[in-house]
Amino acid sequence: MLWRWIQFALDAGAWTLAILMAVVLRYELTEQTLAPNGVVVFSLLAIGSQALVGFSMALYQGRHSFGSFEEARLLIAVTIIVATILVLLSTFLGFTLQIPRSTGVIAFPFAALFMAATRYVKRMFVESKQKPGANAQQALIYGAGFLGTNLVTRMMQDPASPYFPAGFVDDDPAKKHLRVSSVQVLGTGEDLPELIRRTRATVLILAFAAADSAFIRGVSDRVAGLGVKVLVLPPLKDMLGGGDHSVTDFREVDVEDLIGRRPVDIKVEEIAGYITGKRVLVTGAGGSIGSELCRQIHPFAPAELIMVDHDETALQATQISMTGRGLLDGRDTVLASIRDAGSLAEVFRERRPEVVFHAAALKHAPLLQQYPAEAWKTNVLGTLNVLRAAEAVGVEAFVNISTDKAAAPTTVLGHSKRVAERLTAWMAGRTGRRYVSVRFGNVMGSRGSMLPLFSEQIRNGGPVTVTHPEVTRFFMTIPEACQLVIQAGAIGSGGEVLILDMGEPVRILDVAQRMIAMSGKDIEIVYTGLRPAEKLHEDLVDPDVVDARPLHPKISHAASAGIAPDQLDYDRWLAACERSEEAMLEAQVQEETELSHEPVAGPERITSPERISGAARVTGTEPSRRAGTP
């Protein structure tokens, strides 16, 4: 409360000084005609007017941040009103007080300047006390837009901030000399190495609402070897959406940022009406995809969400992530295996789901290559069990989650998921309902995927194992994959396979090199050779299938030939898997022969082509000796 009266006293002094200067200037810097009593009375009238207008307009009530633009705007408005009052008073009382009628007009800019100056001095004093301490790291802020300027303001007002903004970096020429809280734009992204050396910055913060992976890669490459840690901010929607994120929630750039893709806007909210108010069942609800599906389905308010899995611990983790409790005592969690047809049918009869998302599957290609019978029992017969249970209770929409390895399949995993797609198409024709499959590539961050494996290998000091220097894969995020799955249930026609455009494939060696560079360690990269039946490059659509996109430019629709359950034959299926493996082994031998004549370039230490070939022989197994063959 005291500071308000102090500020008013300073404003009163500003008016007194401004009126005195106005009278002196009006009389051309002479004092002969100066009327001291008139000046005193006129100053008192100005002070009274300032008190009346200032307090009535809440100038002294702390409504705006001290020294802010909003307070400055209010101050100018108050000063204009007070100056108008003084002009009117001088018009009627000027002769009596011997004060020129122009005094109020001349005094106005001086008074405004003096009052603004006192506020600015106080703001500079306060900010000087609030700056980050001496132990704060020097940081460059890339981006002088909304996020960047707000970030710098927060930093400069937080004594506990671990970072001190040494300067802005911005590619907009119009911002070349911009200053925010005394922090200047020092240059563009091309100048980063020089700016880092000049400011001795150890941190570079990317202050962008949504920086794409190509931009982040470019920045990371530009500062590589300079000892700078690159940080990114959460998306703007997370900071403004009332969540737990704020403008100071930095995180380090991870490999998902470097190879990640911008999620396709498929407007799930507009098409997920088929979920609202319906009984929805998700198989494999404890897995990476199944659990995220449950989390995305839950906000659409289904009448009932039934989470089915044979792994009780995984079910509990999914329940905790959604409700914050993991008692496993409600009707939302069901412990059952899709291999058990009787138990599954009983669950469907009791709960009578209307929409089913089938995410349960075995997915580790090398292990299934050794144990094909397990892939048959789960991915083929298990899917058939779910389809039959769904048919029995009249499920309206059924979405089978498949993989890009089902396109022109070569592995046991791909062949098993291809049969699952065909069974789904057969059931669509049999029921006339919306039974579809969804196909996508590698999911970043899923259990057992490449990125966690590389991270663990790097944490343990290496080596990082890559099958082949030229192997590529498609990648997508878990939320994006689940959005596609939900969309498929609405826009897919019975028997179709829906495929998301996953952009350009990513070279696995590039991923490994970037992860090693980010770790700052000297890690060896070892090539182990392509595994049996493994492709060098994955396909999304079969070569003879037309890539039609009738409803969304990023979603392809392909027809799938159905197969009836009575046509299933394990021996024929296994023979097809073995033929694919033999063909791929021949291709691998040819690839290794070509590789042996070309030196592999790169900064990492790698093994020779002979070791690559040897590793392939060690990991490969003869089909006749494969375990699990019935």
Q: Which domains are seen in the chain, by residue range? A: 2-129 (no CATH), 137-253 (3.40.50.720), 271-456+473-505+538-582 (3.40.50.720)
The residues with which 113 forms a beta bridge, in sequence order, are: none
Best CA proximity match to 361, nearest among 278, 437, 451, 425:
437
CA 455, 457, 461, 464 torsion-angle sign: negative
Mean pLDDT across the stretch 1-8?
74
Strand 183-187 and strand 163-169: pairing?
parallel
What pLDDT, on a 0 to 100 scale, did the predictor assign at position 361? 94
Asked if 468 contacts 530 with a C-beta cutoff of 8 angstroms, the reply is: yes
Residue 599 has pLDDT above 60, yes or no: no
Burial of 145 (0-12, 13-18, 19+ CB in 10 A): middle
**Structure confidence at residue 628 as a pLDDT band (50, 70, 90):** very low
CA 479/CA 470 separation, integer angstroms: 28
SS3 of 57-109: the string is: CCCCCCCCCCCCHHHHHHHHHHHHHHHHHHHHHHHHHHHHHCCCCCHHHHHHH
Mean pLDDT across the stretch 578-585?
80
CA 529/CA 441 separation, integer angstroms: 21
CA 49, 53, 58, 59 torsion-angle sign: negative
Query: Known catalytic residue: 229?
Result: no
The catalytic position among 405, 521, 535, 554 is 405
Identity at 18, one-letter amino acid code: A
Mean pLDDT across the stretch 473-486?
79
Residue 575 has pLDDT above 60, yes or no: yes
Asked if 199 contacts 134 with a C-beta cutoff of 8 angstroms, the reply is: no
Range with lowest mean pLDDT among 186-195, 218-227, 508-517, 585-594: 585-594
> C-alpha angle with apex 524: 523 to 530, nearest 5 degrees?
130
Task: List the structure tokens of 134.
Answer: 């001496």
Burial of 218 (0-12, 13-18, 19+ CB in 10 A): exposed
What pLDDT, on a 0 to 100 scale, did the predictor assign at position 133? 64
What pLDDT, on a 0 to 100 scale, did the predictor assign at position 359? 94
What pLDDT, on a 0 to 100 scale, did the predictor assign at position 241? 46
For tokens 């998700």, name the residue. 282
What pLDDT, on a 0 to 100 scale, did the predictor assign at position 627? 36
CA 4/CA 12 separation, integer angstroms: 12
Mean pLDDT across the stretch 364-380?
93
Positions of E strands within 311-461: 333-335, 355-358, 397-401, 434-439, 442-444
For tokens 């959604």, name the residue. 322
Mean pLDDT across the stretch 397-408?
90
Q: Write the pLDDT tens digit of every residue in 490-508.
A: 888 888 998 877 767 788 8
Mean pLDDT across the stretch 18-35?
74
What pLDDT, on a 0 to 100 scale, did the predictor assign at position 612? 33
H helix intervals, 244-329: 255-259, 268-271, 288-297, 312-323
SS3 of 120-171: the string is: HHHHHHHHHHHCCCCCCEEEEEECCCHHHHHHHHHHHCCCCCCEEEEEEECC
Asked if 60 contacts 54 with a C-beta cutoff of 8 angstroms, the reply is: yes
Mean pLDDT across the stretch 17-30?
79
**Structure confidence at residue 619 as a pLDDT band (50, 70, 90):** very low
Which of 1-5, 91-95, 136-140, 230-234 shows the highest mean pLDDT? 136-140
Strand 475-477 and strand 525-527: pairing?
unpaired
Range with lowest mean pLDDT among 22-31, 238-247, 260-269, 607-616: 607-616
Angle, helix 570-596 to helix 412-431, in steps of 10 degrees: 140
Give the number of other CB atoms < 10 A from CB of residue 622. Answer: 9
Range with lowest mean pLDDT among 299-303, 534-538, 600-604: 600-604
Task: List the structure tokens of 3.
Answer: 């500071």
What pLDDT, on a 0 to 100 scale, did the predictor assign at position 124? 73
Range with lowest mean pLDDT among 323-337, 377-391, 512-526, 604-618: 604-618
Contacts for 350 with CB less than 8 Å, ≥ 6 apart = none
Terminal C-alpha separation, the chain: 87
Residue 352 has pLDDT above 90, yes or no: yes
CA 35/CA 90 separation, integer angstroms: 14
Q: Write the pLDDT tens digit of every residue in 264-282.
A: 555 666 677 889 999 999 9
What pLDDT, on a 0 to 100 scale, did the predictor assign at position 268? 67
CA 577/CA 589 separation, integer angstroms: 18
Mean pLDDT for all residues in the chain: 80
DSSP H/E element including 384: helix 383-392
